[in-house]
Amino acid sequence: MPFVLRRIGFYIVAFCAAAVINFLIPRLMPGDPIDFMFAKAENTLPPEARAALLKTFGFAVGPLHEQFLAYLRSVFTWDLGYSVKFYPLTVSQVLGYALPWTVFLAGTSAILAFSVGSITGILAAWRRGGAFDSVASPLALAVQAIPAVVVALAALFVFGVALKWLPTGYAFDPKLDPGWSPQFIGSVAHSAIMPVVSLAFVHIGGYLVTMRNNMIGQLGEDHVVMGLAKGLSDRRVRYNYAARNALLPSVTAFALTIGSVMGGSLVTEVVFNYPGLGRTLYVAIVARDYPLIQGQLLVMTLAMLTANLAVDLAYVFLDPRLRRA
């Protein structure tokens, strides 16, 4: 319990530091949302409309420290104000709509990449130097070098434009009403194939290489040699003795992947026009939507810190030595 409390305290401090950076980044960008709205109106708005717009959107006017205090109040009450781009929707409403789509996209792709990469890495290490290892390991290194945008665009062109097998964008057929009907669920699954697979494809190579290297290090340990000497089956030694200990670094990578893509897989969502947090952040940056940018960055921060805390707790569960310590 003291270990858990110490880690939670550390992440609270980290969140506060990230909140300060979150406050400063949008204000260091050139221009502001009100100037952006005036520019779009081509000077047709009267000057007195500026004060009214500032009041409507809840922008604090005054010295930077007063703006920061107002920002802190909004963070801890989760009253993040109205979105400039999607007015009259609040930031919480916009993020609340986008979050489930990113959770689905990020969670599915991360689990797929972790499962495929880890299992293939275990098999490549167990028969290292064999035919499977000779093909899988170099291929994993090559996959790691491909940028995510290239994978997404290639999948979009081949399977969406050329072959017309899969939808080229959005999360479901707009002709359907959202709900738990089989038609809607099927449309969501069909539309998610390309973004999920392309996002997972980028991370599979990293999991494979990490697991392979960790497994090779474990195969020479005494407990693995003893398990083989006792006549235990290859399957039991491979997974219960070697893979369980080799899994720890991959669990860290998995949690960090979840945290990063939860914050918004921007490239994939923009390419496939997927209505998640990444595309929302892109739209907010273009529109200089300070409240929405700040809310999105808070979600990214919370996702990453939660993922790191989950790693700390998972290490205690997976490694008996940490429980005894």
Summary mean pLDDT of the chain: 79
> What domain range includes position 277?
99-324
Q: Does the residue 224 lie in any domain? A: yes
Residue 166's domain is classified under what CATH number? 1.10.3720.10
Residue-level pLDDT at 73 = 80
Higher pLDDT, 8 or 47: 8
Q: Does the residue 52 lie in any domain? A: no
Q: What percent of the chain has pLDDT over 90?
A: 0
Residue-level pLDDT at 282 = 86
Q: Does the residue 26 lie in any domain? A: no
DSSP structural state of residue 42: T
Q: Does the residue 79 lie in any domain? A: no
Q: Does the residue 308 lie in any domain? A: yes
Q: Does the residue 72 lie in any domain? A: no
**CA–CA separation, 56 vs 50, rounded Å?**
10
Task: Give the pLDDT band of residue 105 (cuts 50, 70, 90).
Answer: confident
**CA–CA separation, 195 vs 155, rounded Å?**
9
pLDDT single digits (tens) 109-164 = 888 988 898 888 888 888 887 888 888 888 888 888 888 888 888 888 889 888 88
- Tokens 């081509």, residue? 42
Q: Does the residue 35 lie in any domain? A: no
Q: Does the residue 16 lie in any domain? A: no
How many domains does the structure of the chain reveal? 1
Q: What is the 3-state secondary structure (H, E, C) of 86-102?
A: CCCCEHHHHHHHHHHHH
Angle between the N-to-C axes of helices 182-219 and 244-262, in degrees from 0 to 180, rounded to the nearest 10? 140
Q: What are the tokens at 322?
A: 């940490």
Residue-level pLDDT at 259 = 66
